[in-house]
Amino acid sequence: MARRVSLLLTVLLSAALACTLRFGTDEGGSQQPAPLNAPGAAPTVRVIAPENGVRVPANQPLDITVATDSTATSFLMSVGGRVATTKALPPGQSGPAQAILTWTPDRQGTFTVEIVAFNGSAASAPATLLVEVSGVASGGGTGTGAGCSGRVVVDSLNFREGPGTSAARRGQFALGELVTIIGRNADTSWWQVQRANGEQGWAINNGQWLQVSGSCDALPVTG
């Protein structure tokens, strides 16, 4: 019976992900069918942070860092059996993957968060995180400031010489890396960014991979 229940959960999670990620975005920004039926072995997923039983206030975003032991193409996070978010990873990567998933609890209580990693249509067993939500976050300022900034939430986002996949790849950003956004291309599909060491380059404008905040509307066209 337990095996049949586990199989049913996997089927339901796969169906939910298929509905959400039926079309993916390649690094160039164009829409193309996501490789949901691509062959591959199911990865194993684990929660790196925070610790199990973490206490957080309601209405405050909670970052959950997850990692796999082998190639993954996407993650699905559910809370109390309901899908909270999905994240498709940049195409072309292989080997273990890491990502930051964000959930904002809207009420007090004890919640079980489950994360499933996919390699194509092959799903991992869920990793679980127990979260205690109590009180409400204080009403302090957001701290976004006047500038435009970004945070990298996958460990396989390319850092390029120019705005486009044909531009030379200079490396990859680190998971959680913070960058200052200083420009954009004509259709805002790519951001020109400056890293903490002063190095400048370009990153794809994809909110699943680079979370952007601040005043970005007035950025100049620089590429």
Q: Give 120-169 pLDDT, tens digit per residue.
A: 999 999 999 999 999 876 655 444 456 999 999 999 999 999 999 999 99
Region 171-178: mean pLDDT is 97
pLDDT of residue 175 exceeding 50, the answer is yes
Which of 78-92, 128-142, 195-209 bottoms out in mean pLDDT, i.e. has the lowest? 128-142
- Residue 106 pLDDT: 94
Q: Token digits for 91?
A: 């195409």
Candidates 203, 213, 209; CA nearest to 175 is 209
- Residue 92 pLDDT: 87
pLDDT of residue 10 exceeding 90, the answer is no
Domains and CATH numbers, the chain: 2-136 (2.60.40.10), 148-214 (2.30.30.40)
Longest pairwise C-alpha distance within the chain: 60
Q: Concatenated DSSP letters for the chain?
A: -HHHHHHHHHHHHHHHHHHHSSEEE-TTS-EEE--TT---PPP-EEEEES-TTEEEEETS-EEEEEEESS--SEEEEEETTEEEEEEEPPTT--S--EEEEEE---S-EEEEEEEEEEETTEEPPPEEEEEEEEEE---------SSEEEEE-BS--EEESSSSTTSPEEEEPPTT-EEEEEEE-TTSSEEEEE-TTS-EEEEE--TTTEEEEE--TTPPB--
pLDDT of residue 49 exceeding 70, the answer is yes
Output 168 or 6, whichever has higher pLDDT: 168
Alpha carbons 40 and 205: distance in angstroms, whole number: 28
CA distance to 77, 98, 219, per residue, from 81 (Å): 9, 23, 41
Output 17 or 102, whichever has higher pLDDT: 102
CA distance to 6, 7, 51, 54, 170, per residue, from 125 (Å): 8, 10, 19, 22, 35
Region 165-178: mean pLDDT is 96
Region 97-110: mean pLDDT is 97
Q: Concatenated DSSP letters for 22-44?
A: SEEE-TTS-EEE--TT---PPP-
Region 13-42: mean pLDDT is 48
Average pLDDT across the chain, whole number: 85
Region 164-178: mean pLDDT is 96
For residues 146 and 217, the answer to whether their CB atoms sit within 8 Å is: no
